[in-house]
A = this chain, B = another copy of it.
Amino acid sequence: MKMAEKKHLNSSLLERLATNGFRFTPQREHVYSVLLEKRDHPTAEEVFIRAKRRMPDISMATVYNCLDALVKCRLVRQVALERGAARFCPNMQEHSHFYCDSCEQVFDVNLPPEPVIGLPRGFKAERYDIAIHGRCPECKT
């Protein structure tokens, strides 16, 4: 990434953190950059491993703290597909998730215009989470 790009990213990260009452720290910057680098769906553990490579002293507690801040700033989505560790997704476009029951990989899938589900009277939907389970192309028998 070019210097100018990085500076811009960081100033917008700072802004986003600030408007949500968070401080800008090297750890938060780094965790965010780690997520943007490889746009998959790592667990906190996996983020920790990747973050440590260039910031060996970062702690697991901080990774959780950073992920939490990023989620609260809406720079990252937290996804709960299967039971077990939560996963984090840096793709903030509206999309749903395909979970391959065989290789356990998670794929982004574009959503149709709007999933028209008739809710009973009085219910107010804020957000739809669509998880599709099945086999990815690699694992199709």
Contacts and interface: CB of A to CB of B under 8 A. Distances in A.
Given A101-B126, A124-B140, A119 B132 contact: yes
A127 B133 contact: yes
Contacts of A115: 112, 115, 130
A117 to B, nearest CB: 6
A118 B129 contact: no
Interface in A109-127: 109-112, 115-127
Nearest to A79: B83
A81 B80 CA distance: 7
A59 B101 CA distance: 30
Contacts of A111: 117
Contact of A121 (B101, B117, B137): B137
A135 interface: yes
26 contacts: A80-B81, A83-B86, A96-B117, A98-B123, A98-B125, A101-B126, A107-B120, A109-B117, A109-B119, A112-B116, A112-B117, A115-B130, A117-B130, A119-B132, A120-B137, A121-B137, A122-B136, A123-B135, A123-B136, A125-B134, A126-B134, A128-B131, A128-B133, A129-B130, A129-B133, A130-B131
Interface of A: 78, 80-83, 86, 96, 98, 101, 107, 109-112, 115-137, 140
Given A112-B115, A117-B132, A123-B135, 4 more contacts: A123-B132, A123-B134, A126-B134, A129-B130
